[in-house]
Amino acid sequence: MSSVGGRVSRFPGLTLLGRRWNRSLTFGSLGSMHRSTEMEKSANTKSVAIDLGDTDRLSGVTPEPQPIMILGADLGGLPQSAQFLICCSGVFFFYLIYGYIQELIFKLEGFKPFGWYLTLIQFAFYTLFGVIELNIKTGSKRKIPLMLYAFLALLTVATMGLSNSSLGYLNYPTQVIFKCCKLIPVLIGGIIIQGKRYGVTDVLACLCMSVGLIFFTLADSSVSPTFSSYGVTLISLALCADAVIGNVQEKTMKQYASSNSEMVVYSYSIGFVYILLGQIVTGQLVPAFQFCLQYPMETYGYALVFSLTGFLGVNIVLTMVKSFGALITVTATTCRKALTIILSFVFFTKPFTMQYVWSGLIVLFGIYLNVASKNKSLHYTNLLVTIKNCIVRRHRTDQTFEQIV
């Protein structure tokens, strides 16, 4: 027995069936839309679009706006394309200064063996800046487990320490070129760590950018052959760690909803302990400290500017990783590295060859493929809609013509 409209029904089964039927009528169109969306997703799994918001509009889903803070400014009210351009501009500005100061420090005679000590100073400044920023902000409670931070700190030490040390054995453009080759490991790391699937265009774009930059460094080696296999080993290990850390940071920050300040403070403070212990064990701490005391402005002074610009750049990169993903962030930083190489030839006199030009064109082609891949799904959907509208109009025109005749 059940109550229907104030009366008791003698057929509860039919009443329940009627309720289910009403629900199916109410949500039928919604379920159809959901199935259609799932079919569209499955049809596009072969090509990954580095989306800046268009895919959500196509699927009819309105995502909740996530605040993006850059140097204390909230960019949440701006379109995602404007947010991306502002982030890229910040990355270019701060890291171009960062690269210039880094090369300037290693131009100091006798400093090349102390790359790990420079990393130690850099990590100390990063920790200090991070603590100040974390205390200014509210809600500074740690969200990510310490064990994960210990692993992230190890990757950060490997990335920055090995990269800084490699400058003692490689030319600066050669070191930057090798770092640009992490596009392919990022794709592989995204597949292994996060289970992502990338299209052929994405892989081809990364290959073009990496191959073009490799030929760029071969040109540099031909005109200035100061090449060391040990330096290649150092930068290759830094490359592998750098490829992993972007995907691990993206997955961790999204899983625990942590802030950039928290990530910087814990990663670099734990990394500082790692490097300090390593310097003490290897006996490099005291000689490096005594050398830097002889040139305080060229070492500690430049290291302050070097660390400040690097810290601000790291915050913007972490924001991009969290908001736009590791692949598109690496693409932006790779373009920045290409510009850094050009400025390196401008500010620090080096020979020039035409191989720089055509290898740079290969990189530009890779960037074009990346942009085309990003908009591929949008263009494909618009094409299908256009074809469908043309067919409908043609069908209606034929029907009208038949009625007139």
Tens-place pLDDT, residues 112-154:
889 999 999 999 999 999 888 888 765 567 888 889 999 999 9
CA distance 345 to 172: 10
* C-beta separation of 177 from 213 below 8 A: yes
The CB density around residue 67, as the number of other CB atoms within 10 Å, is: 9
Kindly state whether residue 199 falls inside one of the protein's structural domains.
yes
Is-above-0.75 flag for pTM? no
User: CA of 371: how far to CAs of 65, 329, 368, in Å?
Assistant: 24, 13, 5
- Radius of gyration (Cα) for the chain, nearest Å? 27
What is the reported pLDDT for 282?
92
Kindly state whether residue 53 falls inside one of the protein's structural domains.
no
- DSSP annotation of 300 reads I
What is the reported pLDDT for 263?
83
Kindly state whether residue 50 falls inside one of the protein's structural domains.
no
Beta bridge partners of 67: none
What is the reported pLDDT for 125?
94
User: CA of 351: how far to CAs of 108, 140, 224, 354, in Å?
Assistant: 21, 50, 8, 11
Kindly state whether residue 61 falls inside one of the protein's structural domains.
no
What is the reported pLDDT for 4?
45
Kindly state whether residue 52 falls inside one of the protein's structural domains.
no
3-state SS assignment for residue 45: coil
What is the reported pLDDT for 309?
94
Which residues of the chain register pLDDT less than 70?
A: 1-67, 69, 71-72, 137-140, 181-184, 189, 193-194, 217, 220, 224-227, 326-327, 350, 370-372, 374-405
Domain that holds residue 93: 83-380
The CB density around residue 256, as the number of other CB atoms within 10 Å, is: 14
Total domains in the chain come to 1
- DSSP annotation of 68 reads -
